[in-house]
Amino acid sequence: MSSIIETIKAKVDIADEVGTVVALAKSGKSLKGLCPFHNERSPSFYVFKDTQSWHCFGCNEGGDIFTFVQKQQNLDFHEALTYLAEKADISLEELGGERTEEEREIGAAKERLRKLNEDALLWFHQMLLRSREGSEARAYVQSRGITSDSVVAFSLGYAGEQWEGLTRYLQGQSYSEQELVTAGLARWRESEDLGGERRGAYDYFRNRLIFPIRDIRGRVIGFGGRALGENKPKYLNTPQTVLFDKGSILYGMDMAKDAIKQIGQVVIVEGYVDAVIAQQYGTKQTVACCGSAITEKHIQQLKKLTKQVTLALDPDAAGTAATEQGIKEALKGFDKTYVPVPL
């Protein structure tokens, strides 16, 4: 393990990794910038290239490239190790014996779930692009002004009206019904006549425009579905899974993070379509809540990228309440908060 860690440190320069988040300037033999972990106006965050380490003299945090990645991206050690190994082009197969059996099982389950979500995304996306029954969804996309380039960039999809369309497809890809239910892509069909006995699974999303939801690294962790026709609720998200927690996820973050860092501001909108349209027309620093109010977890993520937030929520009762909640959370961690005033 230690040899691989040292190899990664030798191949991935800490200044390059920190520089993707912090604007660094030369200061003697070191580099300095504003700390990404607490609010400050004068730089007290230093990167030392000779020791491949970092330290903030303001909040007294510090460490190596692994501790920086863990803290900045909210990862555990093995997640940070995997992330940095990918950057260093190093295989981690030999690490199998270093992890406990439980850790290996959890890691394998998460990877299987990510692969399942990716396969579901491909099915949804092709349904929107090519299926005959996806015509209503394509018409809706066009009516909202979403371009074909955005459809591809955001991998938008369509869930048909069939009860088992996705379920049958994924079972054909060697996934079990239990895996589909665990991933939030299917539900159990229960028979009241047989005392609630399970009688197979059926699709969780039906007749909906599908928005794949990704983590900050771009990995698919869940889906949001916008109802077409009279389906209720209007928006339906993947239920809680080991990968998906709607109270901590911001839609579009994977595509917005670079712009947020460069511009020094994030715009939070209320819906998936709003985020897609905003990014499509150049406001690349836009993200959306996944059907929940702005939470402390959201703010903790954003604090690592910017000190300013703009709330651009709907000017209705729900939007006003969400704005008030957002102000309370944002004021805890941001220097400035912009609040839209409906005309």
- The DSSP symbol for 125 reads H
Contact 326, 293 (CB under 8 A): yes
21 pLDDT band, cuts 50/70/90, is: confident
Question: To 10 degrees, the CA torsion angle through 10, 16, 21, 26?
Answer: 120
Residue 326 clears pLDDT 70, i.e. is over it: no
Within its chain, how far is the Cα of 292 from the centroid?
A: 14
- What size, in residues, is the chain? 343
97 pLDDT band, cuts 50/70/90, is: very low
Render pLDDT for 98-135 as a digit per residue (tens, 0 to 9).
566 777 788 788 889 999 999 999 999 999 999 999 99
Q: Which amino acid is located at 16 in the chain? A: D
pLDDT at position 47: 97
For the chain, what percent of residues have pLDDT higher than 70?
A: 85
* Cβ contacts of 138 within 8 Å, gap of 6 or more: 128, 158
Burial class (CB in 10 A: 0-12, 13-18, 19+), 263: middle
State the distance between the two ends of the chain, measured CA to CA, in whole angstroms.
60
Contact 169, 123 (CB under 8 A): yes
What are the phi and psi torsion angles at 229 (to 5°)?
80, -145
Higher-scoring residue by pLDDT: 41, 329: 41
Cα separations in angstroms, 185 against 85, 228, 303, 342? 31, 18, 32, 38
Q: What is the rounded distance in angstroms from the CA atom of residue 206 to the CA atom of residue 227? A: 8
Q: What is the rounded distance in angstroms from the CA atom of residue 318 to the CA atom of residue 83? A: 38
Q: Which amino acid is located at 7 in the chain? A: T
Number of H helices, E strands in the chain: 13, 16
What are the phi and psi torsion angles at 4 (to 5°)?
-70, -40
35-58 average pLDDT score: 93
Mean model confidence pLDDT for the chain:
87
pTM of the entire predicted model: 0.74
Helices (H), the chain: 2-11, 14-19, 65-73, 77-88, 101-130, 135-143, 148-153, 165-172, 177-182, 253-263, 272-280, 296-303, 317-330
Contact 167, 201 (CB under 8 A): yes
Q: What is the rounded distance in angstroms from the CA atom of residue 274 to the CA atom of residue 277? A: 5
pLDDT at position 176: 96
- Retrieve residue 255's tokens: 């595509």
343 pLDDT band, cuts 50/70/90, is: very low
Within its chain, how far is the Cα of 184 from the centroid?
A: 16
pLDDT at position 32: 95
Higher-scoring residue by pLDDT: 261, 198: 261
State yes or no: cis peptide before 233, omega within 30 of 0.
yes
- Helix 135-143 with 101-130: angle, nearest 10 deg: 90
